[in-house]
Amino acid sequence: MRFTLVAALMGVVALASGATWPRDPRQIAHAAIAAWLVHGVYLGGVFMSIAGGMPAGTSAMLVGLQPILTVFLARVWLSERVAARQWVGLALGLAGVYLVVRHKLGAGADGATLVPIVAALVGISVGTLYQKKHASHVDLRAGAVIQFTACALVYAPIVAFPEPQPIVYTPQFLFALGWSVIVLSVGAISLLYWLLRHGAAADVARLFYLVPPVTALMAYLLFGERLGVAAFVGMGLIVGGVALARRR
Protein backbone atom coordinates (compact mmCIF):
# COMPACT_ATOMS: atom_id res chain seq x y z
CA MET A 1 0.00 0.00 0.00
CA ARG A 2 2.84 2.36 0.81
CA PHE A 3 4.57 1.86 -2.52
CA THR A 4 1.31 2.08 -4.47
CA LEU A 5 0.20 5.29 -2.77
CA VAL A 6 3.59 6.96 -3.28
CA ALA A 7 3.62 5.97 -6.96
CA ALA A 8 0.13 7.40 -7.46
CA LEU A 9 0.90 10.60 -5.55
CA MET A 10 4.17 11.23 -7.37
CA GLY A 11 2.49 10.39 -10.67
CA VAL A 12 0.09 13.29 -10.14
CA VAL A 13 2.98 15.56 -9.10
CA ALA A 14 5.09 14.54 -12.10
CA LEU A 15 2.28 15.10 -14.61
CA ALA A 16 1.19 18.40 -13.04
CA SER A 17 4.72 19.80 -12.92
CA GLY A 18 5.83 18.64 -16.37
CA ALA A 19 8.51 16.20 -15.23
CA THR A 20 10.90 14.78 -17.81
CA TRP A 21 10.38 11.05 -18.30
CA PRO A 22 13.32 8.81 -19.25
CA ARG A 23 13.12 7.35 -22.73
CA ASP A 24 16.08 4.99 -22.50
CA PRO A 25 14.94 1.57 -21.19
CA ARG A 26 18.31 1.22 -19.47
CA GLN A 27 17.63 4.30 -17.35
CA ILE A 28 14.27 2.86 -16.32
CA ALA A 29 15.93 -0.47 -15.46
CA HIS A 30 18.66 1.24 -13.41
CA ALA A 31 16.06 3.25 -11.48
CA ALA A 32 14.08 0.09 -10.74
CA ILE A 33 17.15 -1.81 -9.53
CA ALA A 34 18.13 1.05 -7.21
CA ALA A 35 14.58 1.09 -5.84
CA TRP A 36 14.51 -2.65 -5.19
CA LEU A 37 17.70 -2.26 -3.17
CA VAL A 38 16.94 0.98 -1.28
CA HIS A 39 13.24 0.43 -0.70
CA GLY A 40 12.54 -3.27 -1.21
CA VAL A 41 15.52 -5.00 0.38
CA TYR A 42 16.23 -2.35 3.02
CA LEU A 43 12.70 -1.76 4.28
CA GLY A 44 11.72 -5.40 3.90
CA GLY A 45 14.79 -6.59 5.79
CA VAL A 46 14.32 -4.19 8.70
CA PHE A 47 10.62 -4.97 9.09
CA MET A 48 11.20 -8.74 8.81
CA SER A 49 13.90 -8.69 11.49
CA ILE A 50 11.75 -6.68 13.91
CA ALA A 51 8.70 -8.85 13.19
CA GLY A 52 10.87 -11.89 13.90
CA GLY A 53 11.69 -10.63 17.39
CA MET A 54 14.86 -8.56 16.97
CA PRO A 55 14.80 -5.52 19.31
CA ALA A 56 14.58 -2.19 17.52
CA GLY A 57 17.81 -1.05 19.19
CA THR A 58 19.69 -4.07 17.89
CA SER A 59 18.42 -3.53 14.36
CA ALA A 60 19.31 0.16 14.58
CA MET A 61 22.83 -0.70 15.72
CA LEU A 62 23.40 -3.21 12.92
CA VAL A 63 21.96 -0.93 10.23
CA GLY A 64 24.11 1.79 11.81
CA LEU A 65 27.07 0.14 10.10
CA GLN A 66 25.72 1.57 6.84
CA PRO A 67 27.90 4.71 6.70
CA ILE A 68 31.13 2.73 7.08
CA LEU A 69 30.08 0.09 4.55
CA THR A 70 28.93 2.76 2.10
CA VAL A 71 32.19 4.70 2.40
CA PHE A 72 34.21 1.51 1.86
CA LEU A 73 32.13 0.55 -1.19
CA ALA A 74 32.29 4.12 -2.54
CA ARG A 75 36.06 4.00 -2.38
CA VAL A 76 36.20 0.67 -4.21
CA TRP A 77 33.32 1.18 -6.67
CA LEU A 78 33.26 4.93 -7.31
CA SER A 79 36.93 5.64 -6.52
CA GLU A 80 35.98 8.29 -3.95
CA ARG A 81 38.94 9.38 -1.85
CA VAL A 82 38.51 9.04 1.91
CA ALA A 83 40.99 10.81 4.20
CA ALA A 84 42.23 9.32 7.48
CA ARG A 85 40.36 12.05 9.36
CA GLN A 86 37.12 10.88 7.76
CA TRP A 87 37.71 7.28 8.85
CA VAL A 88 38.24 8.53 12.41
CA GLY A 89 34.98 10.46 12.19
CA LEU A 90 33.11 7.39 10.98
CA ALA A 91 34.52 5.31 13.84
CA LEU A 92 33.51 7.96 16.38
CA GLY A 93 30.04 8.09 14.89
CA LEU A 94 29.66 4.32 15.15
CA ALA A 95 30.75 4.40 18.81
CA GLY A 96 28.24 7.17 19.42
CA VAL A 97 25.43 5.15 17.85
CA TYR A 98 26.23 2.27 20.19
CA LEU A 99 26.08 4.51 23.26
CA VAL A 100 22.74 5.99 22.16
CA VAL A 101 20.99 2.66 21.46
CA ARG A 102 22.85 0.34 23.86
CA HIS A 103 20.04 0.39 26.44
CA LYS A 104 17.73 -1.03 23.80
CA LEU A 105 20.03 -3.83 22.73
CA GLY A 106 18.81 -7.26 23.70
CA ALA A 107 18.29 -10.87 22.74
CA GLY A 108 16.33 -12.01 19.73
CA ALA A 109 19.17 -11.98 17.18
CA ASP A 110 19.29 -15.38 15.47
CA GLY A 111 19.60 -16.61 11.92
CA ALA A 112 15.97 -15.81 11.11
CA THR A 113 16.42 -12.16 12.10
CA LEU A 114 20.10 -11.61 11.28
CA VAL A 115 19.78 -12.59 7.62
CA PRO A 116 17.09 -9.97 6.86
CA ILE A 117 18.89 -7.19 8.77
CA VAL A 118 22.20 -7.95 7.03
CA ALA A 119 20.33 -7.93 3.72
CA ALA A 120 18.88 -4.55 4.69
CA LEU A 121 22.35 -3.19 5.51
CA VAL A 122 23.76 -4.35 2.17
CA GLY A 123 20.65 -3.16 0.31
CA ILE A 124 20.75 0.43 1.55
CA SER A 125 24.54 0.65 1.12
CA VAL A 126 24.72 -0.78 -2.39
CA GLY A 127 21.43 0.85 -3.39
CA THR A 128 22.54 4.39 -2.60
CA LEU A 129 25.75 3.89 -4.57
CA TYR A 130 23.85 2.32 -7.47
CA GLN A 131 21.45 5.27 -7.47
CA LYS A 132 24.37 7.73 -7.60
CA LYS A 133 26.25 5.87 -10.32
CA HIS A 134 23.42 4.82 -12.65
CA ALA A 135 20.21 6.75 -11.85
CA SER A 136 21.26 10.16 -10.56
CA HIS A 137 20.36 11.88 -13.86
CA VAL A 138 16.74 10.70 -13.89
CA ASP A 139 14.20 13.37 -12.99
CA LEU A 140 13.42 12.90 -9.29
CA ARG A 141 9.66 13.16 -9.84
CA ALA A 142 9.48 10.72 -12.74
CA GLY A 143 12.08 8.53 -11.06
CA ALA A 144 9.93 8.25 -7.94
CA VAL A 145 6.98 7.01 -10.01
CA ILE A 146 9.15 4.40 -11.71
CA GLN A 147 10.86 3.27 -8.53
CA PHE A 148 7.83 2.93 -6.28
CA THR A 149 5.82 1.28 -9.05
CA ALA A 150 8.64 -1.26 -9.47
CA CYS A 151 8.59 -1.97 -5.73
CA ALA A 152 4.79 -2.28 -5.66
CA LEU A 153 4.94 -4.86 -8.47
CA VAL A 154 7.48 -6.95 -6.53
CA TYR A 155 5.63 -6.78 -3.21
CA ALA A 156 2.12 -7.39 -4.63
CA PRO A 157 2.53 -11.18 -5.03
CA ILE A 158 4.23 -11.41 -1.63
CA VAL A 159 1.22 -9.74 -0.01
CA ALA A 160 -1.26 -11.75 -2.05
CA PHE A 161 0.10 -15.20 -1.19
CA PRO A 162 2.43 -15.64 1.85
CA GLU A 163 1.06 -12.77 3.98
CA PRO A 164 -1.94 -14.03 6.00
CA GLN A 165 -2.54 -11.05 8.28
CA PRO A 166 -5.24 -8.66 7.03
CA ILE A 167 -4.89 -4.91 7.50
CA VAL A 168 -6.79 -3.38 10.40
CA TYR A 169 -7.57 0.23 9.51
CA THR A 170 -7.09 1.91 12.87
CA PRO A 171 -6.32 5.64 13.23
CA GLN A 172 -2.78 4.71 14.32
CA PHE A 173 -2.26 2.62 11.19
CA LEU A 174 -3.58 5.36 8.91
CA PHE A 175 -1.34 7.96 10.57
CA ALA A 176 1.71 5.70 10.28
CA LEU A 177 0.90 4.93 6.65
CA GLY A 178 0.41 8.61 5.82
CA TRP A 179 3.66 9.52 7.56
CA SER A 180 5.60 6.82 5.72
CA VAL A 181 4.13 7.86 2.38
CA ILE A 182 4.45 11.65 2.59
CA VAL A 183 7.29 12.34 5.02
CA LEU A 184 9.53 9.32 4.46
CA SER A 185 9.02 8.06 0.93
CA VAL A 186 8.27 11.42 -0.73
CA GLY A 187 10.19 13.82 1.51
CA ALA A 188 13.18 11.96 2.95
CA ILE A 189 13.95 9.78 -0.08
CA SER A 190 13.76 12.80 -2.41
CA LEU A 191 16.21 14.64 -0.16
CA LEU A 192 18.50 11.59 -0.06
CA TYR A 193 18.59 11.35 -3.85
CA TRP A 194 19.08 15.12 -4.20
CA LEU A 195 22.06 14.94 -1.82
CA LEU A 196 23.52 11.99 -3.73
CA ARG A 197 23.17 13.96 -6.95
CA HIS A 198 25.02 16.99 -5.56
CA GLY A 199 27.62 15.40 -3.29
CA ALA A 200 29.85 12.41 -2.68
CA ALA A 201 28.21 9.24 -1.46
CA ALA A 202 30.56 9.14 1.54
CA ASP A 203 29.45 12.62 2.61
CA VAL A 204 25.78 11.63 2.39
CA ALA A 205 26.27 8.33 4.24
CA ARG A 206 27.72 9.98 7.34
CA LEU A 207 24.45 11.86 7.88
CA PHE A 208 22.75 8.54 8.69
CA TYR A 209 24.60 8.60 12.02
CA LEU A 210 22.30 11.45 13.08
CA VAL A 211 19.19 9.24 12.93
CA PRO A 212 19.64 7.44 16.32
CA PRO A 213 20.26 10.57 18.44
CA VAL A 214 17.42 12.49 16.81
CA THR A 215 15.13 9.49 17.35
CA ALA A 216 16.23 9.25 20.99
CA LEU A 217 15.48 12.94 21.56
CA MET A 218 12.07 12.62 19.93
CA ALA A 219 11.29 9.55 22.06
CA TYR A 220 12.24 11.55 25.14
CA LEU A 221 10.00 14.48 24.18
CA LEU A 222 7.05 12.43 22.93
CA PHE A 223 7.10 9.31 25.11
CA GLY A 224 9.16 10.28 28.14
CA GLU A 225 11.92 7.74 27.44
CA ARG A 226 14.84 8.49 29.72
CA LEU A 227 18.24 9.47 28.37
CA GLY A 228 21.28 8.53 30.43
CA VAL A 229 24.71 10.09 30.54
CA ALA A 230 26.01 7.52 28.04
CA ALA A 231 23.35 8.58 25.52
CA PHE A 232 24.39 12.23 25.74
CA VAL A 233 28.05 11.24 25.40
CA GLY A 234 27.10 9.19 22.36
CA MET A 235 25.29 12.13 20.83
CA GLY A 236 28.39 14.25 21.29
CA LEU A 237 30.53 11.59 19.63
CA ILE A 238 28.11 11.40 16.72
CA VAL A 239 28.14 15.16 16.17
CA GLY A 240 31.94 15.20 16.34
CA GLY A 241 32.19 12.17 14.09
CA VAL A 242 29.89 13.68 11.46
CA ALA A 243 31.93 16.88 11.52
CA LEU A 244 35.21 14.98 11.11
CA ALA A 245 33.83 12.79 8.35
CA ARG A 246 32.91 15.83 6.30
CA ARG A 247 35.18 16.71 3.41
CA ARG A 248 37.14 19.91 3.85
CA distance 51 to 151: 20
Q: Could you tell me the pLDDT band of residue 142, with boundaries at 50, 70 and 90? A: very high
Give yes or no for a contact between 135 and 207, defined as CB atoms under 8 angstroms apart: no
Q: Given this model, what pLDDT does residue 103 score? A: 66
Compute the average pLDDT of residues 10-35. Answer: 94
Q: Given this model, what pLDDT does residue 139 score? A: 93
Give yes or no for a contact between 238 and 223, defined as CB atoms under 8 angstroms apart: no
CA distance 124 to 30: 15
Percent of the chain whose pLDDT exceeds 90: 33
Q: How far apart are the first and last CA of the chain?
A: 42
Residue 14's CB is within 10 A of a number of other CB atoms, namely 20
Residue 135's CB is within 10 A of a number of other CB atoms, namely 25
Task: Give the number of domains in the chain.
Answer: 1
CA distance 113 to 134: 31
Instruction: Of 219, 213, 215, 214, give the one whose Cα is nearest residue 233.
Output: 213
Q: Given this model, what pLDDT does residue 107 score? A: 53
Domain range for 189 is 2-245
Residue 212 or 180, more confident: 180
Give yes or no for a contact between 233 and 99, defined as CB atoms under 8 angstroms apart: yes
Q: Given this model, what pLDDT does residue 153 score? A: 95
Phi-psi region of 154 (alpha: psi -120 to 50; beta: other; left: phi over 0): alpha
CA distance 238 to 241: 5
Q: Could you tell me the pLDDT band of residue 140, with boundaries at 50, 70 and 90? A: very high
Q: Given this model, what pLDDT does residue 66 score? A: 79
Q: Given this model, what pLDDT does residue 84 score? A: 78
Q: Given this model, what pLDDT does residue 245 score? A: 64
Q: Given this model, what pLDDT does residue 57 score? A: 67
Q: Given this model, what pLDDT does residue 49 score? A: 86
CA distance 22 to 27: 7
Compute the average pLDDT of residues 190-203. Answer: 82
Helix axes 111-134, 25-35, angle to 10 degrees: 150
Q: Given this model, what pLDDT does residue 210 score? A: 77
pLDDT in tens, 65-103: 777 777 778 777 777 777 777 778 778 877 877 777 776
Whether 53 has a pLDDT exceeding 90, the answer reads no
Averaged confidence pLDDT in the chain: 84
pTM of the complete model: 0.79
CA distance 35 to 42: 10
pLDDT in tens, 94-131: 787 777 777 666 655 566 778 888 899 899 989 988 99
